[in-house]
Amino acid sequence: MYSGSGLQLQHPLLSQNTHDLVPYLESQLYLEQDLPDLASLPPPRLFATHLPYQLLPQSVRDSKCKLVYLYKNPKDTFVSFWHSANKLRPRDKGEISLQESFDKLCRNVSLYGPYWDHILAYHREKDTFDVKSCIQRSL
């Protein structure tokens, strides 16, 4: 869609955070209600999750839904993890250093489980479950 002045592209992704456009199952939908009625949401029903493939409900894995596994460049992921960990960390404990955060990533310790295992689990299922993977590049 174009605006009336200057043919400027007006797409929601240009003006809104993707987290506001695509709700996270574990941090938005299920925090608001114990059992949200997902079928009542208007199509297309798009959801995001940080869950590893192994923790997806069996009903999702048995369904005909499409999965798109979007992951970032590992360097971007590391910086994002570092910022997230410091936001969640109590102020009285101080900031986690980049070095400490990097050491944890190298030991496969992160907020959402082992990073490489997370990527590889979805990648292994790409043929049996029609999982589409793509890397999100830095802008």
2-40 tens-digit pLDDT: 444 444 567 777 788 777 888 888 777 778 778 888 888
pTM assigned to the model: 0.67
Q: In terms of domains, do 91 and 135 share one?
A: yes
Residue 83 lies in a domain: yes
Q: In terms of domains, do 122 and 88 share one?
A: yes
Range of the domain at 110: 66-139
Residue 115 lies in a domain: yes
Q: In terms of domains, do 80 and 31 share one?
A: no
Residue 123: active-site member: no
Q: In terms of domains, do 75 and 137 share one?
A: yes
Place of tokens 């986690």: 96
- Gap between the Cα atoms of 6 and 93, Å rounded: 51
Determine which one of 11, 19, 50, 83 is catalytic. Answer: 50
63-93 tens-digit pLDDT: 778 888 888 888 888 898 899 889 989 999 9
Q: In terms of domains, do 43 and 81 share one?
A: no
Q: Considering its fold, how many domains does the chain have in total?
A: 2
Q: In terms of domains, do 73 and 126 share one?
A: yes
Residue 56 lies in a domain: no
- Gap between the Cα atoms of 126 and 34, Å rounded: 31
Residue 57 lies in a domain: no
Short-list 67, 39, 65, CA closest to 53: 67
